[in-house]
Structure 1
Amino acid sequence: MNKVTILLSALLLTGVVASAKTLVSVNGKPITQEEVDQELMQATQGRFNQVPADRQAAFRQQVLQQLIGKELIYDDAKKSGITKSAEYKREYKKLEERMKKELAIQVWQKKLLDSIKISNKELKDYYKKNIDEFREKESVHARHILVKTEDEAKKIIAQLKSLSGDKLKEKFIS
């Protein structure tokens, strides 16, 4: 596995990995760029592009290492016979049913959303009719100071009365 790490590091640093379809093969099972990209998007909740550019290559390598590890563990699990056990088959069936439902819902939602067409005119009309929804509500940001005694409060009030504007902000906003 150490040789794989060195090879992957070299490929990632030279940019060759990005153009390759199959990045590595683990016991005959290819791990593709698409799989790595899917894992990256899932790990970053679709915000991989917001990861600083100088950290993206290292993050890609980490995800690839995780996929390699998962594949090795899965191979060991298969060799141990776990995939033939009644417990595995029962849990697999439950997962399969949940996935069928989720996939059906996703496909239905996509089809429904794709069928909805809203013109620019409709958007503008909605905006004009509901402009108050798009305005930022007026708000106040307040801070308070907790003290134990009334005398302590009076001392603080006296200090604050001599301050105003930026000096007052500096005193309390750090």
Structure 2
Amino acid sequence: MKKISLVLAGLLCGVSLNAAVVATFKGGEVTTEELAPYLAQFQISDVNALPKEAKEGLIKDVVTKKLFAKEAEKLKLDKDDAFKSALNSAKEVLLAQQYLLKKFNDIKVSDAEITDYYNKHLNDFKVPEAVKTKHILVKTEAEARDIIKQLKGLKDDALVNKFSELAKTKSNDKGSGAMGGDLPYMSVNELVPEYFNAAKKLKKGEISEPVKSQFGFHVILGEDYKASRQGSLQEAKPFIENGLKNEKHKALVKQEADKLINGAGLQVK
């Protein structure tokens, strides 16, 4: 099953009846609807899912383009023949995209088709085992053991708070370090083997010995472990439905394109 193209994904994410304002500036505002095509490139629909710096950077980019456009209008560049030609071309592209979007939305996928696909592709919907951890990454084993020493004897909130404090000040993984060493649930395929194999053995609130990997030495705080399992049909349904719609859409687009081209009297000179 292939993914929907970014162009189509952008259109799908961009259609919103409840666009919210995420930023304002003198003479204008930025809405979630305007950000949707950009977010589609990262396969997300909520701007708040981005890190703070990335969210602010995206909004600044959008506002900058708006301000450039205002400056262009002041210079009457919107009256220029080259601009008018480009605008007409853009209009054709957008109309074609809206036509394709309508065709996509009109496509129906039955429950029987979804169930049949699920049963024939069970391995595609296996959820791998995963761990939820915090970690502190340092260069040497000695540094790791010093951190473990500072955590010795602590439990529950006291342990978590001290671990988070050390992660923020000591960890070489600045991304997770800024969040107190916190990592999301990560599967065996997303972590280096040394880390995953050590993490899966930890009980909630248990600290690992120094774990050496290609990145350095990790001190890991265990939080949770989930064994591998078969993803249910209900969980898989939206992904299967979207994929099957996309496959039907591709076939439909080709069929319609061939029909329209054949009836257009095209002559290439």
Structure with the larger strand share: 2
| Larger-Rg structure | 1
Structure with the larger helix share: 1
Normalized against structure 1, the TM-score is what? 0.49
